[in-house]
């Protein structure tokens, strides 16, 4: 890549402070940037790196007041982090725009409907009656099951698997190793101690602008649909069980798991390694902190911590008491000793 400060400013609606003809050829973080690099500064704790940085161009907030002279030209914006993210997206799109058409060793069933400017990589498998919308990209070794519908500008990365009958919305990204639509964990115990499998005949519906991380699994519904609403962001190594529904713009971090038939509201945040039981309702705006085990429904905008999870401030108070247990044990032992002595007297 090679762009001038003026060109980049036009992409992110920035004000230029310095030389508009500054040329950049790469990206780097503020600590390690060298001449020719574009970087950004959004967190004040990294400000000192700006004054020593060799970056040629830095995106910074308009509110930043410089304490020293710098060598870099600045692009002033309202939100440096968001502007840098926008710029990276533009750069990524430029790199992948040339991916188009069906590569030689891809399998595309005769009944599949492929939109304009769709890319299907070598050794990808597109099954019968699949529909893929305009501009979507199916990378090598991805599997798309029968009757799957994929919207426009979706990205299915190498090795991702989408089982039959599932629906994927526009602008959705599914990363490598993710499995969409595997059977839910449904088994009925028999009198002899064995288990009878309950067929899982539903599907998974993923709406627009969703991102699903590597090696995440989303199970199909026993009946009806497991639903991932628009704007949901799911990290790597997350398990979403059958008949779960995730509300709009909910975010889930790595290694979290949600059991069957739980309904999660809008703008919920679930941190890493949190576990959630089945058949409960998590209200809009709920926050579940890392390694929490949630076993009951919530009210809007509550914060939960611990296992079993309780409201965050209560959990913090409990932790303080827990840390004092050795000290309290000594005091109890001393009181018991005093009681014995008084009893003797």
Q: What is the pLDDT of residues 219-245, one digit of tens each?
A: 999 999 999 999 999 999 999 999 999
The whole-number pLDDT of residue 344 equals 82
Mean pLDDT of the chain: 95
Average pLDDT on 161-172 reads: 98
Domains and CATH numbers, the chain: 3-96 (3.40.1390.10), 101-315 (2.160.10.10)
Distance CA 316, CA 296 (A): 19
Q: Sorting pLDDT into bands at 50, 70 and 90, what band is 14?
A: very high
Which residue's structure tokens are 């990378």? Answer: 139
Residue 217 φ then ψ, to 5°: -125, 135
Flag whether pLDDT at 131 surpasses 80.
yes
Write the CB contacts of 315 (distance below 8 Å, at least 6 apart in sequence): 304, 305, 306, 309
Q: What's the pLDDT score for residue 95?
A: 79
Residue 324 pLDDT > 90 = no
Least-confidence region, from 75-84, 118-127, 314-323: 314-323
The predicted structure's pLDDT at residue 340: 87
Q: What pLDDT does residue 118 have?
A: 97
For the chain, what percent of residues have pLDDT higher than 90?
Answer: 87
> Given this model, what pLDDT does residue 203 score?
98
**Both tokens assigned to 278:** 């089945």
pTM of the model: 0.88
Hey, which residues are catalytic here?
Answer: 242
Mean pLDDT (whole number) for 284-309: 96
- In contact, 162 and 197? CB cutoff 8 Å: no
Is the predicted pLDDT of residue 189 greater than 80, yes or no? yes
DSSP string computed for 272-310: TT-EE-SS-EEPTT-EE-TT-EE-S---TT-EEETTTTE
Q: What is the pLDDT at residue 231?
A: 98
């Amino acid at each position: 890549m090679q762009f001038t400060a003026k060109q980049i400013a036009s992409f992110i609606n920035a004000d230029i402070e310095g030389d508009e003809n500054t040329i950049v050829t790469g990206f780097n973080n503020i600590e390690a940037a060298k001449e020719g690099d574009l970087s950004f500064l959004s967190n004040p704790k990294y400000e000192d790196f700006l004054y020593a940085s060799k970056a040629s161009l830095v995106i910074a907030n308009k509110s930043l007041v410089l304490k020293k002279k710098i060598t870099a030209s600045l692009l002033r914006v309202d939100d440096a982090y968001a502007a840098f993210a926008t710029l990276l997206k533009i750069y990524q799109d430029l790199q992948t725009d040339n991916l188009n058409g069906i590569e030689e060793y891809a399998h595309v069933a005769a009944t599949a409907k492929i939109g304009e400017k769709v890319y299907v990589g070598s050794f990808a498998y597109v099954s019968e009656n699949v529909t893929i919308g305009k501009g979507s990209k199916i990378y090598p070794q991805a599997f798309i099951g029968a009757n799957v519908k994929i919207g426009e500008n979706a990205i299915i990365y190498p090795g991702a698997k989408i089982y039959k009958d599932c629906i994927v919305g526009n602008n959705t990204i599914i990363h490598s190793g993710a499995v969409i639509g595997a059977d839910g964990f449904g088994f009925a115990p028999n009198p002899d101690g064995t288990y009878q499998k309950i067929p899982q005949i539903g599907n998974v519906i993923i709406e627009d602008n969703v991102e699903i991380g590597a090696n995440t699994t989303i199970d199909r519904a026993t009946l009806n649909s497991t639903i991932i609403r628009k704007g949901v962001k799911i990290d790597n190594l997350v398990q979403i069980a059958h008949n779960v529904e995730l509300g709009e713009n909910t975010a889930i971090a790595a290694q979290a798991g949600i059991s069957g038939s739980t309904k999660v509201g809008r703008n919920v945040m679930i941190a890493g390694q949190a576990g959630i039981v089945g058949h409960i309702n998590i209200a809009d705006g709920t926050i579940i902190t890392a390694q929490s085990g949630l076993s009951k429904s919530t009210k809007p905008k509550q914060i939960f911590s611990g296992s079993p999870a309780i409201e965050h401030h209560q959990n913090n108070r409990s932790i303080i008491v827990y840390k004092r247990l050795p000290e309290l044990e000594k005091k109890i032992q001393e009181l018991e000793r005093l009681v014995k002595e008084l009893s003797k007297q």
